[in-house]
Structure 1
Amino acid sequence: MAGKYILLVEDNPDDEALTLRALNKNNLANGVVVARDGAEAVDFLFGTGAYAGRDASDLPEIVLLDLQLPKLDGFEVLRRIRADPRTKTLPVVILTSSKEERDIAQSYRDGCNSYVRKPVNFDEFVEAARQLGMYWLLLNEGPPR
């Protein structure tokens, strides 16, 4: 998947569809890879498991990471991303419905770049996706690859 793309890590089919619709409304959905659990996200990023042979140097511009995931939760995925020199500086935005202060604090301790709560209202979600996409894909100068 060479070129700019987003890795969306989301296990809830409704939230996945909502996120993809919001990104699509903002013309940002062309390059989205979806991982539906934490283990799949790690396999995708590091070219292991079902993604063995994938060019692991082809990284997304940003990872949108839910916290409540099967197999490996979002915290563990984030820790693995930060522990590997290849992905240590990869931008990771926690995109979750959790309002728990401890989740916010833990996400930043583990190295997330941003923490965004999923808005309940679709129009607000579309605007949040637009702002995320504009900032992380167009304005932000990412680390050199």
Structure 2
Amino acid sequence: MSSEAQPVEILLVEDSPGDVNLTIHSLRRARFANNLSVVEDGAQAMAFLRGEPPYESAPRPDLILLDLNLPVMSGREVLAEVKGDPELSTIPVVVLTTSSAEADILSSYQLHANSFVTKPVRFEEFVEAIRSIEDFWLAIVRLPPR
């Protein structure tokens, strides 16, 4: 990340309230300043990313954490739209899902996901997975400018 003190904007696209709470809890303990926005389905994610109502003043995320199994519009559809849109395609997308199926992993990378992380079942492992994502994407990788 750049040396600027500006918080990292993260968009979490997740329909499971439990996973949302775990992610919020994990990121609150983060070493890096971040602002987390949460949407519950793929259609909301695209409206958020495009600044459509009710998200006209939504910040452009520096990182998207995307579940694959979403209502209304699947994570795969969101990933395809984001990576197919020149205005959005540079935003890194981490697929964060319960699936460990090879077909899901392959299709995510074919749609240009930046990484694929299977959500652990145990609380401590979930927190560690979020912390690892944070360490890599917020400490090591240089994110594209907003």
Name the TM-score, length of structure 1 as normaliser: 0.89
SS of alignment partner, residue 64 of structure 2? strand
Are positions 1:66 and 2:63 aligned together?
no
Paired residues for 1:1-40 under 5 Å: 3-27=7-31, 30-40=34-44
- In the alignment, which residue of structure 1 is the partner of 2:57? 54
Identity %: 46
C-alpha RMSD of matched pairs (Å):
1.7
Shift of 1:18: 1.4
For 1:87, the equivalent position in structure 2 comes to 88
> Cα offset for 1:54?
2.7
**Larger mean Cα displacement after TM superposition, 13-22 or 91-100:** 13-22
Q: Who is 1:106 aligned against?
A: 107
Structure 2 contact 10–34 (Cα < 8 Å) conserved: no
1:30 Cα offset (Å): 4.6
Normalised by the length of structure 2, the TM-score is: 0.88
Give the number of equivalent residue pairs: 141
Q: Is contact 2:7-2:32 (8 Å) kept?
A: no
1:62-82 superposed Cα distances (whole Å, 9 cap, x missing partner):
100000001100000001101
Following superposition, the deviation at residue 144 of structure 1 comes to: 3.7
Q: Is the 8 A contact 1:25 1:126 kept in 2?
A: no
Q: Letter of the aligned partner of 1:31 in structure 2? A: N
Structure 1: segments with no counterpart, 5+ residues = none
In structure 2, distance between residues paired with 1:111 and 1:50: 28
Q: Distance in 2 between matches of 1:122 and 1:29?
A: 22
Deviation beyond 3 Å, 4+ runs, structure 1: 27-30
Inter-partner Cα distance in structure 2 for 1:27 and 1:43:
30
Q: Distance in 2 between matches of 1:116 and 1:32?
A: 18
- Asked if the contact 1:26/1:129 (under 8 Å) is kept, the reply is no
**Aligned mates of 1:131, 1:63 — CA distance in 2:** 15
The answer for unaligned runs of 5 or more in structure 2 is: 1-5
Match of 1:142 in 2: 143
